[in-house]
Amino acid sequence: MKATTTGSDPSAEPSLKSVAVRTFICMFGFVICFLPFFQGHAEDTSDKAWSVLQTGLQQKGDDKATAVRALGLIEKDSKAEQLALTALGDENADVRAAAADALGQMQAKSSTKQLESTLKSEQDVGVIIACARSMVALGDPMGYAVYYAILTGEKKSGESLLDSQKKMLKDPKKMAELGIGFVPFGGLGLTALKMVTRDDASPVRGAAARVLAKDPDPKSGEALVQATSDKSWIVRAAALDALSHRGDPSVIPKIEASLDDDKSAVRSMGAAAIIHLSEVQAQKPVRKHK
């Protein structure tokens, strides 16, 4: 007679699969029960956030400008866009500039018409620059006209700037406050920033040249070529940098003189630009050197 083997019946033990299923059901039930609470809490937090922002928008001066600029963090939101558009007509120039910046930051492409209208009628240079900066960010080529004026001192149409605009554009410290200060590249950043302290406008014009690198208008290309002979080496170097990025090989003969410039930085920038544009002309890929 064989002895009966004692032990548990494997079929009676819960499988790992069944345990996982029951665990999932329990967790799902927990989520279903508490979902309304979480949703309600999120909605309450969002409502409070909008309330705080609306309070800021009802302030005056710097507090209102800060609240308006903060709207730029809210992308693809019609309410935020409308609030920024409303602020674009504020009596305070700082608030108008903040509104223009916010529209560009939130990528409000539908606002380009209003920005263009403001750009044409605005007298405050800070607001004009903010509009231009956002228009460039939104893909509107009209914004480049402002940077052209900063570089050349006149409008693309050939008209002179207003006296107040000329005065502002020649104040590098004020321009730096408006966000149009020199954009450092290569090893020129520190030197350029030191020049700002000496009330030299060249860093500002150099920054404008860099922006014009993306302007498809041939007139900007011509202005950049002329800028390679500017009295300021900062502007010459920035213009060569911009021309290289524009990728038009036809300017090579016009910038060959940069190879004999009295400033090492300009010579280096000119050499690199000519090499790059020559490769573009030959349709050769730019080789990466380690």
Q: Looking at residue 203, what is its pLDDT? A: 75
Residue 109 belongs to a domain: no
Range of the domain at 221: 175-290
Q: Looking at residue 183, what is its pLDDT? A: 44
- Is 272 within 8 Å of 264 (Cβ atoms)? no
- From the CB of residue 227, how many other CB atoms can be counted at a distance below 10 Å? 24
pLDDT digits (tens, 9 = 90+) for 58-93: 888 888 888 898 889 888 888 999 999 999 999 999
Q: What angle do CA 132, 200, 178 make, to 5 degrees?
A: 30
The two structure tokens encoding residue 21: 């299923």
Residue 9 belongs to a domain: no
Residue 52 belongs to a domain: no
Chain centre to alpha carbon of residue 69: 14
Residue 151 belongs to a domain: no
Sign, CA torsion 181/183/187/190: positive
User: Rounded CA gap, 71 and 65, in Å?
Assistant: 10
Q: Looking at residue 29, what is its pLDDT? A: 56
Q: What is the CATH number of the domain that holds 241?
A: 1.25.10.10
Residue 69 belongs to a domain: no
- Is 174 within 8 Å of 168 (Cβ atoms)? yes
Q: Looking at residue 92, what is its pLDDT? A: 93
Strand, coil or helix: 160: strand
Category of 140 on φ-ψ map: left (φ > 0), alpha (ψ -120 to 50) or beta? beta
Chain centre to alpha carbon of residue 45: 29
The two structure tokens encoding residue 268: 């280096």
Q: Please tell me the number of Cα atoms within 13 Å of 109 on its side-chain side.
A: 4
Q: Looking at residue 121, what is its pLDDT? A: 85
267: exposed, middle or buried (Cβ count in 10 Å: 0-12, 13-18, 19+): middle
User: Rounded CA gap, 134 and 114, in Å?
Assistant: 11
Residue 88 belongs to a domain: no
Domain count, the chain: 1
Interior/surface letters 92-122, b for 16+ CB within 10 angstroms, e for the rest: bbbbbbbbbbbbbbbebeebbebbeebbeeb
The ranges of the chain with pLDDT < 50 are 1-8, 12, 37-38, 41, 181-193, 195-197, 199, 289-290
Q: Looking at residue 66, what is its pLDDT? A: 87
- Is 136 within 8 Å of 143 (Cβ atoms)? yes
Residue 210 belongs to a domain: yes
Q: List all residues 6 or more positions away from 193 whose beta carbon is below 8 Å from its beta carbon.
A: 182, 184, 203
pTM here? 0.70
The two structure tokens encoding residue 191: 């030197």
Residue 224 belongs to a domain: yes
Q: Looking at residue 62, what is its pLDDT? A: 84
